Structure 1
C-alpha cells in the first residue's frame, strides 16, 4: 500500500513538473531561463518544483497596466489630479538633446533636465546625516522608500526622525519591500502607524504574494518637500554604517539632488505608493535653477515593455569614448551588457570594474569570479576591493557623466527588480566621483588573468556550475 501511495505521489509530482515546465516555457523572460527551469522541472520535480513557486513567476498584471498607462500619458500626480502640463514642464527644463543618452530617455519616456545642485554622499555616515537633516527640515511632506529597513540602531534613529515629523503634523509616507524587510517586526511598523506615519510594504500582487520572491522593489528614494531628493545604494540598517562584521567596513554611495529632476523621483515613488494604497502622496513642484548639472532619473523595472535596466547599461557603456568605471557588488552581466563592456575595451576605452573581495552571497560571488576572469581576457580591468564589502552602484563615463543608484550588474536588477538611478552630466560632479573611485581602486587588488587557471579543477567546475544559475541570481 505504501509503495502505491509513493508511486502515485511521484507520478503526481512529475505531472505537476510537466505543467510547471510548460508554464516556464511560455512565461520565462529569457530563453536560457525557460530552458533551465523546464529541464529541471521535467527531470527533477522533487528538487525544482518548490523553488519554482518562489522564483519562477515572470509576469504580473495590475501594476504593469498602471505603469504603462502612466508612461503613455506622461503625467505626474499632483494633489489628486493629473498634471496636464507636464509635457510643457519637461520641455521648459530639458537641456539640449544629448545624443549619447537620448535613447534612454526615449525608452523610459523621460527627459534630462538642467539646473541641478548635486551632492556626492560617500558612505553611510555622510548619507544618513544628510538624509536626517533633510527630514528634520521638512515642512510639507516626507516620502521615503527602502528595500530594507532593520529594527536596529540606525533603523530606530530613522523611526525617531519620522515620528518627530509626524508629531509636527507633517505628512510622512513610507514604503518598504515586503521581502527585503521580511524580518522587520510588527511593533516597529505599528508604532509608526499609531503616530500618524503612513507606512506600507510593497508587493506587486495585492492579494497573492506569499510565494512571490521575484519583482522586488529595490529602490532607495527619499523626497522632502519637493525641493530635494536622495537616491543610491544604501538601505536603513547598521550594516550600511559598517557596524556588522565580517563584511565591515561597508562601502556605499548615495547622492542628494536639488532641482527639476526631483519631480521624477517623486513620480517613481508616487506610482509605487498609488499601487499599494490606491492614493496619491502630497506633491510640491521642485525648485528651479539650483545648479549647473544636467540630470535624468532612470527608473527601471519588470513592468517596462523593454528590459530597460539592461538596455540602460548597454547604451551608457556604448556611449563611452574614453573610460567606463563601474562599481558593483555583483558582477553577473547578461550578454548584452558583457558584450558592451568587451567592445568598449576593444575600441580602446579604459574599462574598469570594482567588485568585492568578500562574499555576502556565495553563489553570486562564485559566478562573479568567473565573469571577472573572462572580462580580463578581453582587456577589461577588474579589481577586488580589500578593506570591506563594496555595495555601491556607481558608473563613471568619460569626464562628464556619473551614475549613482540602486542597480546591480545582475539578472535581478536587469529583469526582476524595480530599480532607480540618477544619470548626471556635469564635469565638476564627475570629477568628485573620479576622485572617490580613484581612492577605491587604490584600495583594491587587480584580478590577474592567470588566477583562474591556477585554481583547482573542482573549484573551476564549481564556478561554472554557479554561473548556470544566472537566471535566478
Structure 2
C-alpha cells in the first residue's frame, strides 16, 4: 500500500510540473497529461527529454553581437536603397495590420529588384541547383533537413567534392535528426575533399541537451552570394518520384536573384555560427546584387525563438476574397483554426489541398480530424491524387507565402523554417495557376460522404488529435 500511495504522489507531482510549465500552451499540457495516464510515471521521461523550452545552442559574445548587428544593418541599408519610390506593394499598404507585421514583427526586411523562378517539378529544381553549383566561382552554401546517400545524394556529393578540389569554399549543414540515416562514409568523403560540414542537431548531443524536438527544417542553396534556392525539397530520390510507395512527388521550390538572396545567405550564415561557432561577415559572401528584376520579396526565417505564426494568422484574417492552401500536413494552431473559420464565414473562398496518400498515417488522421468541422463552416477540402503532395503554399488575395513551413504546430513553433512572401502578381498568379492545376487532379471531400466514415476511423482521428502537439 505505501508503494501505491508513493506512486500516486509522484504522478500528481508530475502532472503539476507539466501544468505549471505548459500553462501557456494548454493543448500541449493536455496531451502530456494524457500520456502520463496512459503510461503512469514512465510517461514523464519523454516529457523531460523532449518538452524542454528551446535555448540557444551558442550565445554571441558582445563583440560578435556588435559585429553581426553591424553586418545586418549594412544589408538592411543596402536593401532599402533599392526599394521603389512608391514603397510597399499596394496590397500591403492598404492593410495596416499586415503592413505592421511585415515591417515591424518580421526580422528581415522587404527586398526589391528580385528575379524569381518557381519550380513545380522537382526534376527542374534539382537541375537548376546542380547547374548553379557547377558554375560556382567563390563559395557554395547548402543547408538541408534530409540528405540521403542515394543516387541524387551521390550526384550532389560528387559535384561538391569536385568544386572543393577546384578551390571553391563549400559548406554544408544538415539536420542530425532528419538525416539520421546518412552514413559516416558519405560525410567522410566530403570532409576529406575539403568540404566544411556542420550537423545542426546531433542526435546524441541533442538528446542530453533535451532539445530533440527542435529541428532545422530549412532547405537552402546559395552560390557565390548571387543566386539562392529555398522551398520544400530535400536531397533524396523520393523527391524525384523514385519511391514507389509515393510515386510522383509534387513540391514547390524557388530560385532567386537579387536582394532576397542576401537574406537567404544571412540565414545560412546565422545557422553556420550556431553550429560551427564561425561568424562569417566578409563582404564576399554578400556581394552587391546585379539583378534589376521587379519582384518584391520578403524572406522570413522562423523557429522556436521567432515564430511565423503571427504572419500566417494575419495573412488569413486579412483576406477579403480568397485563401488557397496546399500542405502535406494540416494541423492548425487554435488561433489559425479560428481565423480560417472566421474568414470562410465572412464570405472568403477558402480551399485547402492535402495529400490523398499519406506518408505518416498518425499525422494524416490528425489532419482529417479538422476536416469535418471546417467543412461544416464552409471550407472546401481536396485530396491530391496524382502522387504525394509536399508543396507548402498559402495564397491570401494578392499575396503568397511559400517555403519549408507546413501548416502544422511543429512548423509554427518548434522547427527552424525559411519562407518567402511574394508581393507581385506575376509570382502569385503562377502559384495560383499551380494550385488550380493540382485541384484538377484532386478529389473534393464531400461533407455528406465524409461523415459516413467508419467509427473506428473517427476514433483514430480523435486519438491523433489529442497527440497533435507532438507532431
After TM superposition, the score normalised by the length of structure 1 is 0.89
Counterpart selection for 1:88 from 73, 77, 82: 77
The SS at the match of 1:161 is helix
1:234-283 alpha-carbon deviations (Å, 9 max, x no partner):
00000000100211111111001111011111111111100110103461
Q: Which of 333-342 and 438-447 deviates more?
A: 333-342
1:284 is aligned to: 286
Counterpart position of 1:275: 274
Residue 41 of structure 1: how far off its partner (Å): 2.9
TM-superposed deviation, 1:57: 2.3
Task: State the secondary structure of the residue aligned to 2:43.
Answer: helix
**Structure 2 Cα separation of the partners of residues 373 and 356 of structure 1:** 16
Once residues 288 and 336 of structure 2 are traced to their aligned partners in structure 1, the CA distance between those partners, rounded to angstroms, is 34
- 2:19 paired with 1:25: yes
Supply the distance in 2 between the matched residues of 1:406 and 1:262 (Cα, whole angstroms): 16
Matches within 5 A, 1:51-90: 51-63=46-58, 82=71, 84-90=73-79
Pairwise CA distance, 1:12: 8.0
Structure 2 runs not aligned, ≥5 long: none
2-side partners of 1:124 and 1:66: how far apart? 38
Query: Relative to structure 1, is the Cα distance of residues 122 and 12 closer, same or farther in structure 2, using a 3 angstrom cutoff?
Result: farther
Residue 140 of structure 1 corresponds to 138
Partner of 2:363: 364
In angstroms, what is the RMSD of aligned CA positions? 2.7
Distance change in 2, residues 1:68/1:358 (3 Å): farther
Alignment CA distance shift 1:26-1:193 (3 Å):
farther
Q: 1:182 maps to which residue?
A: 180
**Deviations, residues 384-439 of structure 1 (Å, cap 9, x unaligned):** 000111011112222x4222200001110011101110111111122221221111
Q: Note if contact 1:146-1:219 (Cα within 8 Å) is conserved in structure 2.
A: yes
Shift of 1:51: 2.9
Query: Per-residue deviation at 1:109?
Result: 2.7
Q: Which residue of 1 aligns with 2:403?
A: 405
SS in 2 for 1:403: strand
- 8 Å CA contact 2:153–2:236 kept in 1: the answer is yes
Q: Note if contact 2:200-2:275 (Cα within 8 Å) is conserved in structure 1.
A: yes
Task: Indicate the larger mover: 381-390 or 309-318.
Answer: 309-318
The alpha carbon displacement at 1:140 in A equals: 1.2
Partner of 1:156: 154
Structure 2 SS opposite 1:142: strand
Question: Which aligned pairs between 1:54-453 and structure 2 lie closer than 5 A?
Answer: 54-63=49-58, 82=71, 84-94=73-83, 96-97=87-88, 98-99=92-93, 100=95, 101-102=98-99, 103-203=101-201, 207-210=205-208, 212-281=211-280, 283-304=285-306, 308-398=307-397, 400-453=398-451
CA contact (8 A) 1:297 1:422 kept: yes
Deviations 1:293-352 (A, max 9, x none): 100001111012xxx222121111122222111100001111111122122212222211
- What is the Cα deviation at residue 38 of structure 1? 3.5
Query: 2:373 and 2:120 mapped to 1: Cα distance?
Result: 30
2:6 and 2:165 map into 1 onto residues whose CA distance is: 57
> Closer, same or farther in 2 for the Cα pair 1:324/1:198, shift >3 Å?
same
Q: Note closer, same or farther for the CA distance 1:127–1:67 as it changes in structure 2 (3 Å cut).
A: farther
Please state whether the residue corresponding to 2:331 is helix, strand or coil.
Answer: coil
CA contact (8 A) 2:107 2:300 kept: no
Any conservation in 1 of the 2:177–2:203 contact (CA below 8 Å)?
A: no
Q: Give distance in 2, aligned partners of 1:55 and 1:347.
A: 39
* 1:92-145: CA deviation from partner (whole Å, max 9, x where unpaired): 134513344431341123221111100001121011001001111111111100
* Per-residue deviation, 1:228: 0.9
Q: Distance in 2 between matches of 1:461 and 1:67?
A: 52
Q: How many residues align?
A: 457
Deviates more, 1:39-48 or 1:196-205: 39-48
Task: Provide, for residues 63-82 of structure 1, a one-character-per-residue CA deviation record: whole Å limited to 9, x for no partner.
Answer: 5x559999x97x858xxx84
**Structure 1: 5+ residue runs without aligned partners?**
none
